[in-house]
Structure 1
Amino acid sequence: MMYLSGLVGLLLVLTVDARVGNSSSCIETEQCLLFDVICKTEDFEVRHYDSVKWVSTNETSSSFDIAVNNGFSRLYDYINGTNDIGIKLEMVTPVIIKSYGKQGFFVMNFLLPAEYQSNPPNPTDPMVYIYTTAAMTVYVQSFDEELTGLFDRLATRSLSRDLDSIHATYVKDFHLLASYVGPTSTSRAYTEVMIVAVGEPVCTSEELNQ
């Protein structure tokens, strides 16, 4: 019985770790956040993400760009050894920014590698913490655009408008921005805006309803 219990526990750990890992869809990094596609329309994609751990930091600023730069620097220090065991962690994509829009409050998140999902090193910077996101279903639009304050406003407005046109129910307090290409990279920018679905997602588009 103890053997069975241990086996079940191991399988649960492997299941969690499997949602962060290697995939041909990873951009610039060996590991990335994995997801299941529920459906696609002409306007957006609906995805399901499992619960995963991040290293996170909060920023309050009237400037999106300043908030992002400050948060990125703080988290980059963490993965470069500013943690309780002084180890370096590999970068994993995407970097997620939780934006509360006009409130000027942002949460910057670096995804923890699969091997540290169950037991990540603790931050030594008091402004940095480990955070576990719940499983979620999100509406997503993708863009070949740089992650800027202007992009934040325009992309969020675009996706919100599309969701409103099909009467989808979604979280309006915040949205998520996902960046897959680093600030010093020479690769083409690739960024996504995500809005969390409430209840059963709507898998249709305005064009299909006309």
Structure 2
Amino acid sequence: MLKTIKQALFSTGLEMPKWTALPNQAPDYEIRQYEPAKWVCTSVKTVEWDSAINTGFMKLFNYIKGKNEKAQHQANPPKPTEPDVFIENRPAITVFVRSFGGFAKAKKNQEEILALAESLKRDGKAFQERVYYSAGYDSPFKLLNRHNEVWLIKRS
């Protein structure tokens, strides 16, 4: 029920990966189990986070808007036409998720991932320390009530 409400509140109307909320007592993060899915991905070679996000966003936005071999968006994703955009079959994954508003610039993103890591250490949760994900759900033109997340992968 909570998952459905949360997805409805920050849904942009775009297709999102399917996930299930797992039991959790912490007020400052969620635990989610994502189902296996196909992800459209890109590689960006830069150390400057804000620049990488802008470049990566445009590559993936172009793919969604038709820069692919079938020139349309569908459940069976068409092959990208840009060499550094690719389809990746990812297995199920369990992640710890911290949500935040505003624009996810480099400094804010770093603050949120460090806060999530501290909360997980406080609660004795094991997670991969060298990899994290950042998820943004809003158009760059949306100015208010933005929804962003940082994810750390649960370690068994």
Partner SS for 1:183: coil
Q: Kindly provide the CA deviation profile for residues 27-51 of structure 1, in whole angstroms up to 9, marking residues without a partner as x.
A: 2224322311112322211111111
Distance 2:86 2:19 in 1: 24
The alignment status of 1:74 with 2:59, answered yes or no, reads yes
Structure 1 stretch 159-168 or stretch 179-188: which is displaced more? 179-188
Does 2:28 correspond to 1:43?
yes
What's the counterpart of residue 97 of structure 1?
none
Secondary structure of the residue aligned to 1:157 is: helix
Residue 17 of structure 2 corresponds to: 33
Deviation beyond 4 Å, 4+ runs, structure 1: none
Contact 2:97–2:151, Cα closer than 8 Å, also in 1: yes
Are residues 1:54 and 2:48 paired? Answer: no
Where do 5+ consecutive residues of structure 1 fail to align?
1-22, 90-114, 200-210
Shift of 1:25: 4.8
User: Is 1:179 aligned to residue 152 of structure 2?
Assistant: no
2:105 to 148, 158, 163: 148
Contact 1:26–1:32 (CA<8 Å) still a contact in 2?
Answer: no
Alignment-derived partner of residue 94 in structure 2: 137
SS of 1:151's partner is helix
Name the CA distance, whole Å, in 1 between partners of 2:52 and 2:123. 33
Quote the Cα distance in structure 1 between the aligned partners of 2:134 and 2:43: 15
Structure 2 CA distance for aligned equivalents of residues 144 and 185 of structure 1? 12
Once residues 142 and 28 of structure 2 are traced to their aligned partners in structure 1, the CA distance between those partners, rounded to angstroms, is 28
Q: Does the 8 Å CA contact 1:181/1:188 hold for their aligned counterparts?
A: no
Equivalent in the alignment of 2:3 = none
Structure with larger Rg: 1
Question: What are the superposed Cα offsets for residues 168-200 of structure 1, whole Å, 9 maximum, x if unpaired?
Answer: 11111210111111111244111111111012x
Q: Contact 1:57–1:71 at 8 Å: present in 2 too?
A: yes
**Secondary structure in structure 2 of the residue aligned to 1:174:** strand
1:83·1:121 contact (CA, 8 Å) conserved in 2? yes
How far has the Cα of 1:158 moved from its partner?
0.2
Residues 1:126 and 2:83 are matched in the alignment: yes
Q: Is the 8 A contact 1:181 1:187 kept in 2?
A: no
Report if the CA contact (8 A) 2:22-2:32 is conserved.
yes
Aligned residue type for 2:23: C
Deviation of 1:26 after TM superposition, in Å, equals: 5.2
Alignment RMSD (CA, Å): 1.6
TM-score, length of structure 1 as denominator length? 0.66
Q: Deviations over 1:115-174 (max 9, x none)?
A: 52xx31101111110012210111111111311101221001000011112221111121
Contact 1:177 1:192 in 2 (8 A): yes
What is the match of residue 123 of structure 2?
Answer: 166
Matched, 1:85 2:42: no
